[in-house]
Structure 1
């Protein structure tokens, strides 16, 4: 598996999807800046900006971007007509998908870290005082991880056929939008995309967060993803 992941990382040099996703995460930061500066009477600082970035990541940008990133790398196997070749040489569909998932998990970390660094750079430009950087970094990583796990079932199901991942991107975006409406309710603890917010106790003013429920929600979604991966098969190998 490590060799397969390494091979997947090498393949990434042939496409620009990571750059597109990082650009999308940059848009999340810019939107957070606009929202913060446009809110009259609100407290402004690094903490508030990072909170805004996390909110935009979870509800607007990361669900679709992470689905696009992972789905695209899988779909390249169909486009390049390498899916059948891999299956012929004994690489099972499950192993290939597992390598894709692990590789894109690493990419997710890169995107999340880049996102946080951009937040720091812009905060410095705006003259904000930095504090609790490690805590805010942890919050960014946890919520990003929650987003990635939450969209895995969508990615795995929509990637069983050529170009279906685009429908998965649309669905993931819709799921993210729905997160806006549950974030201030008790459903925030069990709705997969917002479970990360509960784990990091996103809004200190709210008392409805249950980190245990949030962890359980993400674990359940991960187990569902594993089940889909184990039971999944390529439905389009013959027509790629």
Structure 2
């Protein structure tokens, strides 16, 4: 691939928590592999180009979410890109906007319907460190695309959300929570009408995976804290297996790997 094109989707409204950094991480890790990578900023009112290699979507507040959903639904480019199999990373509000519906400004709002998920409200806002292990059980049995099957390392991030997200049968979690609060709490799960048995399972779900979309509530930015996840997106965008992704080279590559490892270890301890 001569050039990797990275779509930074609506950073003007979904850029509250520094999630623009995910696009920067992808660009840098690509360039250190000899790939000429560029970021394409797509702001509110712009059409979403359908031919980019990978897309990142960040977090935002209620009004921003509503504006983002309305624009992306009306434009249709994001939906066509997903239907074409382009990989997408959606963070927090991005997860909710890509779902079937979400609660914002005291009302339910239609999402893009690209993730089989609905979002109401948590009883207590989740603010703090979050850790999970990659969810793999039942992928083949459910007949789902094994997009995140190569992930082997724990996932970590910082969560700050009020949403209680429940996954439907067409989506599966990105991870199983080992610390913190994931997509929902017991109140949110029971309010959604789940049985107590199902609610016990749902509270350990974090994020969502469906088709070419990876979604999570983890900020950080998440790709800076989880290099294996960043490289999985790069591999998908360049059409190779994660194991076949070329190593990073250059005078700063070793330093970068060391600094990321230090950050990751620090956040894991936290």
Which is richer in helix?
1
TM-score by length of 1: 0.27
Larger relative contact order (Cα-Cα within 8 Å, sequence gap ≥ 6):
1
* Structure with greater Cα Rg: 1
Which is richer in strand?
2
